Amino acid sequence: MDELAMREEFDVNTPPIKGKAGWGRWLCALVFALLAAPAFAQALPYHADPSAREMSPTLTPVPAIRFLTTADFPPFNFRDASGELIGFNVDLARNICTEANVACTIQAWPWEQAASALSDSQGDALIAGLDMSAENGEKFDFSAVYLALPGRFVTRLGDVEAFDPDALAGKTVAVRTGSAHEAFMKRYLPDVALRGFATELEALAAVEDIAVDAFFGDGMRASFWLNDNLDCCGFAGEPYFRPAMFGEGLSIAVPAGSDSIRHAIDWALIKLKDNGTLDELYLRWFPVGFY
């Protein structure tokens, strides 16, 4: 899923991050979720290509990587109260440069200009969730996936432990109307009654209100909602990875043919996974783990 699609969802579904009061609620929820993290913490699956181990950046020296990102999409990339650029993507970019032993700069661009800036050689890599579409593939190459986007069930806390997706017949599951997750349910669990909602926020609220038995949708977006509803609900069952349906996940775009930079990034991602840094960053910025 590309960042534009996720932005549209978050603009609708996560109003707490907007405005001074909203920032306060979001930060308080983040701190509270961090304290509760042991109940939810999960490591990232191993997404990176093992062959990248052989693509040492020393084979073709990369003196520096100029990262481009955006500044209005928390918790991935945004500015804090002091104006500093922070977020999961920002921390990841800096750690990639440290691991690859190259100089690093990170510059924020408006979302609608970021890809063009990369095409115009105003940066070497774009870490902002650019869609790995065929159209973008004509202009850019992509790193290994560093964050997949699984589908997840959410139920009320009392139903989490005994949850069984094979026992949903006769129950009602909330989904966002027209979503890939609705299509997944219709294809793989056709006997389950579905109730469609205009947004995932409404669908998740229906679980809290006991209007439905469960929710199925994007795990990452659901994790943000759970940050504010830890006393109500939780993830149930296992994550579902269906790249063809839910999107391949998040990766880093580089100009087509920039193999030395892409190899350096892939090599660093392998190292960051192996030494635990990637998992640590994930748990820092996503305290309610969606894996």
Region of poorest pLDDT, from 20-24, 150-154, 167-171: 20-24
Q: Mean pLDDT across the chain, nearest whole number?
A: 85
Of 121, 131, 143, 141, give the one whose Cα is nearest residue 265: 143
- Taking residue 143's Cβ as centre, other Cβ atoms within 10 Å add up to 24
pLDDT score of 35 more than 50 = no
Question: Rounded to two decimals, what is the model's pTM?
Answer: 0.80
Q: Which of 60-64, 226-230, 232-236, 246-250 has the lowest mean pLDDT?
A: 60-64
Q: Do 70 and 109 contact (CB within 8 A), yes or no?
A: yes
Give me the mean pLDDT over the 14-36 stretch. Answer: 40
CA angle 54, 133, 59 (to 5 degrees): 20
CA–CA gap between residue 29 and residue 13 (Å, rounded): 15
Phi, psi (5° rounding) for residue 263?
-65, -40
Instruction: Flag whether pLDDT at 17 surpasses 50.
Output: no
Q: Give me the pLDDT at residue 55, please.
A: 56
Beta bridge partners of 175: 196
What is the largest distance, in Å, between two alpha-carbon atoms of the chain? Answer: 60
Quick: pLDDT tens for 169-186.
Answer: 999 999 999 999 999 999
Which two three-digit tokens encode residue 20? 């001074």
How far is it, in rounded angstroms, from Cα 27 to Cα 80? 10
